[in-house]
């Protein structure tokens, strides 16, 4: 089917973005080539825009239409009506990189299918099989090293991206470079969850790292697509936590008659309505590898259009892609580096939960430090941000420490390190910002 050979919406949106936002033309032209577009009309329009841009001509609906008319191509591409349609199809210009990847993916698919057919034809004609294999390998390598995989980036592209980021920040409500965590003080320190960054959230058991990660994931998923790999909890247990937090219910209240059946079900129905609106997708498979994570990323991109945040709970439970690697240090190190590569490849922030060494229990001050990260020094090296959760009441129960928590930003590549006071409601497994328990 022709729908399997290209993505009509992606191609049209890319051309529309180039027509309405000149600042994106340089980046898009560095990521795509004319041959990447499926239809003749789209190839002509892309080539015309790129040619005009190189000659410092203005790029807009009227100018591009006039150039196509001058080149006797306007009727070929569908007239001014098609140009207007392309411009009108643009809802946002911020997703242009993802659209470029979609267009490029289909382009590679078409090239591979052509290559297979061509090789099959050569073999049927009697070409030497070794020559056919060598030719297939060579051409496949050329396809795999196409424009979007080029590691050489013009400084102009970098400047354009910085301008895009600053413009986004200035026009956003949160004034942050990344996705809002839903916690204002955390956003202020980290400038939100930024693309391509690895955020390590670490703590000793029972400190609440899964709860905080879950809250952040749900906050982000109100407006963005979030992939959550839950290696420690099944999705039913995860959902139960969310429902309890939103309703104020817990096992103790339910089993000891602290609420009527009608009241409980009304609360649950309301919470279910809230949760059903979230763009949150949970994989609770016990076997989690870099390959399975990447597969889920691609599935989300294909079905939902984007994967905007990934949460891994937690790093030490991940398995290795290489079944011959058994040493935990090597497995954790490989997965840490692999997650960083995925963050860069898909331009997505990743929150990765991590255990801490029990040796910190021997210290008088049990607040975590970077050297407490368990099983690998690569975690600290690969992470852009390292955060620790500390609750003094776990070690020193008292009225003074009850409900108090600290989120310690121990590493922050592009910002300051500090402690953010938090409050933890154990009954609801909920964190809120503040320092005075109510």
What is the spatial distance between Cα 19 and Cα 80, in angstroms, rounded to a whole number? 13
What is the spatial distance between Cα 434 and Cα 438, in angstroms, rounded to a whole number? 10
Alpha helices per DSSP H over 89-206: 96-124, 129-144, 155-170, 184-190
* Residues 200/387, Cβ–Cβ less than 8 Å: yes
- 2-148: CATH, from 1.10.860.10, 1.10.10.2160, 3.40.50.12160, 3.40.50.300: 1.10.860.10
**Residue 61, Cβ density class (10 Å: 0-12 exposed, 13-18 middle, ≥19 buried):** middle
Mean pLDDT score of the chain: 82
Predicted confidence at residue 147, as pLDDT, reads 47
Residue 232 has pLDDT above 60, yes or no: yes
Q: What is the mean pLDDT of residues 348-369?
A: 90
Predicted confidence at residue 327, as pLDDT, reads 74
| φ, ψ (nearest 5 deg) of residue 425 | -100, 100
Q: Which residue has the higher pLDDT, 127 or 404?
A: 404
Tens digit of each residue's pLDDT (9 = 90 or more) over 387-399: 999 999 888 888 8
Most confident of 107-121, 159-173, 398-412: 398-412
Residue 251: pLDDT band by 50, 70, 90 thresholds? low
Tell me which residues are annotated as active site.
Answer: 232
Predicted confidence at residue 245, as pLDDT, reads 81
Residue 199 has pLDDT above 80, yes or no: yes
* DSSP SS3 for 388: strand
Query: How many other C-beta atoms can be found within 10 angstroms of the C-beta atom of residue 205?
Result: 10
Residue 324 has pLDDT above 90, yes or no: no
Instruction: List the end-to-end C-alpha distance of the chain, in Å, as a whole number.
Output: 62
Q: What is the mean pLDDT of residues 129-141?
A: 61
Residue 175 has pLDDT above 70, yes or no: no
Where do we find the tokens 């889920």?
Answer: 296
* Residues 249/425, Cβ–Cβ less than 8 Å: no
Query: How many other C-beta atoms can be found within 10 angstroms of the C-beta atom of residue 258?
Result: 13
| Domain definitions of the chain by residue range | 2-148, 172-433
Q: DSSP secondary-structure letter at 415?
A: S
What is the spatial distance between Cα 149 and Cα 146, in angstroms, rounded to a whole number? 6
What is the spatial distance between Cα 227 and Cα 308, in angstroms, rounded to a whole number? 8
* DSSP SS3 for 283: strand
Q: What is the mean pLDDT of residues 80-94?
A: 89
CATH superfamily of 172-433: P-loop containing nucleotide triphosphate hydrolases (3.40.50.300)
What is the spatial distance between Cα 433 and Cα 422, in angstroms, rounded to a whole number? 4
Lowest mean pLDDT among 1-10, 90-99, 166-175: 166-175
């Amino acid at each position: 089917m022709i729908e399997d050979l290209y993505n009509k919406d992606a191609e049209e949106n890319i051309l529309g973005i180039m027509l309405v936002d000149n600042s994106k033309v340089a980046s898009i032209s560095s990521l795509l080539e004319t041959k990447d577009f499926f239809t003749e009309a789209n190839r002509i329009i892309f080539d015309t825009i790129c040619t005009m841009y190189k000659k410092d001509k203005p790029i807009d609906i009227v100018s591009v239409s006039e150039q196509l008319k001058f080149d006797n191509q306007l009727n070929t591409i569908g007239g001014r009506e098609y140009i207007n349609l392309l411009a009108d199809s643009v809802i946002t210009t911020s997703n242009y990189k993802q659209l470029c990847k979609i267009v490029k993916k289909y382009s590679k698919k078409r090239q591979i299918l052509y290559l297979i057919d061509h090789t099959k034809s050569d073999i049927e004609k009697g070409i030497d099989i070794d020559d056919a294999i060598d030719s297939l390998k060579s051409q496949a390598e050329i396809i795999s090293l196409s424009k979007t995989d080029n590691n050489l980036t013009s400084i102009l592209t970098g400047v354009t991206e910085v301008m895009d980021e600053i413009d986004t920040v200035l026009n956003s409500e949160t004034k942050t470079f990344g996705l809002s965590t839903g916690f204002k003080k955390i956003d202020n320190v980290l400038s939100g969850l930024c693309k391509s960054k690895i955020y390590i959230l670490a703590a000793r058991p029972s400190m609440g790292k899964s709860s905080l990660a879950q809250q952040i994931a749900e906050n982000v998923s109100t407006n963005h697509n979030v992939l959550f790999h839950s290696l420690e909890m099944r999705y039913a247990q995860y959902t139960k936590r969310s429902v309890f937090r939103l309703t104020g219910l817990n096992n103790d209240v339910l089993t000891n008659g602290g609420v009527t059946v009608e009241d409980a079900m009304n609360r649950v129905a309301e919470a279910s309505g809230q949760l059903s609106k979230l763009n949150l997708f949970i994989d609770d498979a016990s076997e989690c590898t870099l390959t399975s994570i990447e597969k889920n990323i691609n599935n989300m991109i294909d079905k939902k259009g984007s994967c905007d945040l990934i949460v891994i709970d937690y790093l030490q439970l991940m398995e290795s892609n290489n079944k011959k690697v058994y040493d935990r240090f090597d497995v954790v190190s490989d997965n840490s580096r692999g997650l960083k590569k995925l963050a860069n490849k898909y331009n997505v922030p990743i929150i990765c939960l991590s255990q801490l060494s029990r040796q910190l229990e021997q210290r008088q001050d049990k607040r975590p430090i970077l050297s407490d990260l368990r099983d690998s020094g690569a975690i600290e090296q690969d992470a852009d941000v390292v955060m620790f959760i500390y609750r003094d009441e776990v070690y020193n129960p008292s009225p003074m420490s009850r409900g108090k928590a600290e989120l310690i930003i121990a590493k922050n590549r592009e910002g300051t390190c500090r402690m953010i006071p938090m409050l933890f409601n154990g009954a609801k497994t909920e964190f809120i910002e503040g320092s005075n328990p109510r």
